Amino acid sequence: MTTTTRTPTPAEIRETHTGPTAGLADGYAQANLIAVPRDWAYDVLLFTQRNPKPCPVLDVTDEGGTTTVLAGNADLMRHIPRYRIWDHGELVDEPTDATPHWRDDLVAFLIGCSFTFETALKKENVPLRHVEQQRNVPMYVTDRQCRPAGRLHGPVVVSMRYIPENLVHRATTITARMPAVHGAPVHIGDPTAIGITDLDEPDFGDPTEPHPGDVPVFWACGVTPQAAVMASKPPFAITHAPGHMFVTDVPDTNYLI
């Protein structure tokens, strides 16, 4: 990072940042990653098509490709803050540079991330508790199953934001206009209705503290492919670490309908 206090650019964040990316890169879209061998790419692409709420695809690389139209100069092998390396569904490493693990037969999928609509929420005065509390967003595995595709199956993962009750309608309508980054909430209110027993124990990310009158609001989450990797055990996969997103050069408003 430079020593000035100006906001870092997406390229600077990609080059240097190793933590969660919520609240960073205001105004730019962020993306989830899942890269699989070409032999599994059709299953993943069909899985995303059949589950567009958790898996809205923003770009797909050609086999062996490590660049994307979403950020012309970025290297997908090392420009994500933290990666997860998966061997037959088991998490085996969590490096900040995936170059040593990358393979020539990998196809990489970049999937919309809900951090992308947070600037729009903030502009409309919807508070973001996880950003205020300097935490990663909490994410939960639900009891809802994705529609399977080929060899891939697994549950829907959601991110949760506590929203003041009188702003839930606003958060819903703002995010509904951005379907490419998960769109409207999939559930509002009682977490047990979607199989979540304890909001203080997220499956990924950090717990957050509600303010009095806050309601939990749940959005489909791009960690869903990682839950599918755990459930379906493809021989190899590389993903981002939850909350540690690929920061793109694409203005978030490009995904506003």
What residues make contact with its own copies under the rule CB under 8 A?
41-42, 45-46, 48-50, 57, 60, 62, 150, 176-177, 179, 257
Name which of 236 and 255 has its Cβ closer to its own copies.
Answer: 255
Name which of 50 and 123 has its Cβ closer to its own copies.
Answer: 50
CB 211 to its own copies: min, Å: 31
Distance CA 257, CA 253 (A): 8
CB 134 to its own copies: min, Å: 34
The dihedral built from the CA positions of residue 160, 163, 166 and 170, taken in this order, carries a sign that is negative
CB 237 to its own copies: min, Å: 17
Distance CA 42, CA 40 (A): 6
Distance CA 187, CA 142 (A): 11
CB 42 to its own copies: min, Å: 4
Query: Is the distance from CB of 22 to CB of 130 less than 8 angstroms?
Result: yes
Name which of 8 and 179 has its Cβ closer to its own copies.
Answer: 179
Name which of 46 and 91 has its Cβ closer to its own copies.
Answer: 46
Looking up tokens 């879209």 gives 29
Name which of 29 and 241 has its Cβ closer to its own copies.
Answer: 29
Contacts 24+ apart (CB under 8 A), 188-193: 188/215, 188/216, 188/217, 188/218, 189/215, 189/216, 191/140, 191/160, 191/216, 191/218
CB 247 to its own copies: min, Å: 22
CB 46 to its own copies: min, Å: 6
Distance CA 17, CA 29 (A): 16
Name which of 25 and 220 has its Cβ closer to its own copies.
Answer: 220
* Kind of pairing between the strands at 155-164 and 139-145: antiparallel
Q: DSSP assignment of 166-199, as one string?
A: GGHHHHHHHHHT-GGGT-S-SEES-GGGGT---T
